[in-house]
Amino acid sequence: MTATPVIGRDPRRQYWVQTARPELEGRLGSTFSLANGRLGLRGGHEEMPEWGRPEFYLSGSYTGGPASLLGVHDPDHILTHPDRTTPEALARLTPGAIATLPNLPNPAAVRLAVGGVPFSFGASKILSCERVLEIAEARLRRRLVFRDGQGRRTRVDSERFVSFAERHLVALRYAVTPLGHDGAVSVHAYIKRDVTSPNGVRLLTEVRSRTEDGLDAVECITDESRLTLSVAQVAVQRVEAGCTTVEIFAAAGAVALDDAVALARAAAARGYDTCRAEHIAAYRRETDAAAADFDDNPATVQGFAFSQMHLHMAFGYDDNRVGVPIKGLTGHGYRFVNFWDMDFHMFPYFLLTKPRQARHLLEYRFNQLPAYRENARRWGARGAQVPWETSTRGVEETAPWLCLPDREIHISADAARMFWLYDELTPDRDAMLAMGAQFIMETARFYASRITWGEGHRRCELRNIGCPDQYHTFAHNNLFTSLMARWNLEQAAATASRPDYAAARERAGVTDAEVREWQDMAARLFIPAPGRDGIIEQCNGFFDLDPDLDGISELFCRHSQAVKQADVIAAFGPFEEVYPAEVRRRNWHFYNDRTLHGSSLSLPGMAYGAARCGLNDEALYQLHKSARMDLDDVNLDTERGVHVSAGAVQWYTVVFGFGGLTARREGVHLRPNLPRQWRWLRFTVHWQF
């Protein structure tokens, strides 16, 4: 094989880094990850150095594990509940109570020897090491040049992809070229079995294996969920013109060992070039259907393209058992669970780029409705309460010592709104009839049970809740939460009154008295209003907090007006028509001065809010910072996985903000609002299929 020179950089289509420093491998393992919605392979080195953290994940393969899987918060952290001490909370957890994806045996492993001497990063002098992510093709290339102890220089060119054409397939080409020496080259492909989760816990047990000439395969069972998972690797080797090449075809899935072997062999029979061409064609079909491109500086365009790639790679496509994990399949952060990011931030993006497949996310939420009812009962409420964090089980997966599970209650309306949006923007009426109407009614019932009557003010209130900004966790009447709850109540009352939803109303057991209660509560629910200066108080008492943010951190912010992300600006998204542009501009400036951007959603959220009210320079600045979030490791946490949902909000900034798109049932409207620095913008959306 003749190695393809790694030249001709195009930041609109590529991202590259030249380093082999071990201390950077956590971050680079995330940024060079590849996935296809079913399989996720971190971007580590094929030679599996001891510091390389090889990670390989299968979507939906959750299993329970020990409490050590949870990150323990400092008792002074803003999210730690003062009455839930960490030792007691840990003691209450039973084995298997915490779900995550197990780290699977890694099929992208290679042992290399030159002149009989095994290669290792520590024993050899690394002369160059460059990884190039082909963003436009979801493909990773690496060129490594090293000098061994005998002074011999050797070049290794590798390429890998996680196939969009065959969701079970990972393929790798590994080519070794001696540079001016005749030392014998030996390349051996294998499956690395001795892997654990990043905290050292192994969550599966090997039960079968097959090792033959050119074949390595292993079958495992997850320890708690008892799922059968198999990984099979077929390796094909050849030597041409002094270059030794090994092509690896690996199949993985919730299948028996022999089935995985058959899939890997079938891919090998088609050949690497064919499999790669099929993958690229399938991936381009996805990206063409969701294309968004604009004229900006290369660093912004590169970061935006990177974020859009990860949205494609995180989506489950044909699997309604899973949602979209907050980190996709790129890292262990938050144990691959689903947050409100999926419902509120990511779903509108998928709805307008993959509308038919977006229905799977509705099915995911609706199928877990019984678990959501139980979750509401757990906290003394009625109806259906969507957990703050959950997996395929539908139960609350949040650490028990945190404030979030019982106080961050806006997520139920966030999930209900998905069904309404889908019904609004697609011709598929069945989704609302079969799922959405009932879901909206049962989440409204939850809010009705949490709303209280404030006798002193003669109004309905949502008290003792957590603000979505997560720095004010014991609050009353948060703007975002109250607006979402009111919408849910109004929508449920209207839905229950329609004859075509009578069957859904019957399934939910909704009475006439309950409908009247929802209407009354929605009409009386207190919503913070703009003051004389146009500024809206995020929650009761916010204006009385200390405006001085010097020295503020997540351990020292309860007393201050600091916010992790601005709830008021987030509320302007779904409820923009309620507030004039001037009110939105004034609030943007007020809360921008108080936002610490501790959340990856904050920067793109502020960009979107600015673009929708005409603050284009501010929007472009925040968009750039958000687009570079992972590539520049802005929040110093990229090693835990890519911030997938931020890419969706970046897309809103470009398409809804600068493109001026408004989509409703009756039609699509455009009012372009390009920044003065841009010459053009193009994007594709799908409306009514």
DSSP per-residue letters across 430-499? HHIIIIIHHHHHHHHHHHHHH-EEETTTTEEE--SB--TTSS--SBS--HHHHHHHHHHHHHHHHHHTSG
Count of Cβ atoms closer than 10 Å to residue 158 Cβ: 23
pLDDT reported for residue 2 = 43
275 touches 166 (CB < 8 A): yes
- Find the Cα–Cα–Cα–Cα dihedral 626, 628, 629, 635, rounded to 10°: -110
Name the nearest CA neighbour of 650 among 595, 590, 596, 610. Answer: 610
Q: Which residue shows structure tokens 């449920």? A: 492
Strand-pairing partners, residue 156, are 144, 176
Alpha-carbon span 36 to 59, nearest angstrom:
10
Instruction: Tell me which DSSP letter residue 5 carries.
Output: P
Alpha-carbon span 522 to 536, nearest angstrom:
20
Residue 502, classed as helix, strand or coil, is helix
Alpha-carbon span 662 to 542, nearest angstrom:
32
pLDDT reported for residue 86 = 67
Enter the pTM of the model: 0.96
pLDDT reported for residue 8 = 65
Q: Which residues of the chain fall below pLDDT 70?
A: 1-8, 86, 89
pLDDT reported for residue 141 = 98
Q: In the Cβ-directed half-sphere of 6, how many Cα atoms lie within 13 Å?
A: 23
Calculate ∠ Cα 368-371-372, nearest 5°: 85
Give Cβ neighbours of residue 68 (< 8 Å, ≥ 6 apart): 199, 201
Alpha-carbon span 261 to 293, nearest angstrom:
41
Q: What is the mean pLDDT of the chain?
A: 95
Alpha-carbon span 603 to 291, nearest angstrom:
22
pLDDT reported for residue 95 = 74
554 touches 597 (CB < 8 A): no
Q: In the Cβ-directed half-sphere of 375, how many Cα atoms lie within 13 Å?
A: 27
Measured N-to-C along each axis, helices 437-450 and 355-367 cross at an angle, to the nearest 10 degrees, of 50
Name the nearest CA neighbour of 181 among 204, 132, 135, 148. Answer: 148
How far is Cα of residue 611 from the mean position of the Cα atoms in its chain? 24
Name the nearest CA neighbour of 463 among 514, 386, 526, 513. Answer: 526
Give Cβ neighbours of residue 218 (< 8 Å, ≥ 6 apart): 105, 191, 193, 206, 208, 209, 210, 230, 231, 232, 257
Name the nearest CA neighbour of 39 among 142, 94, 108, 131. Answer: 108
Residue 238, classed as helix, strand or coil, is strand
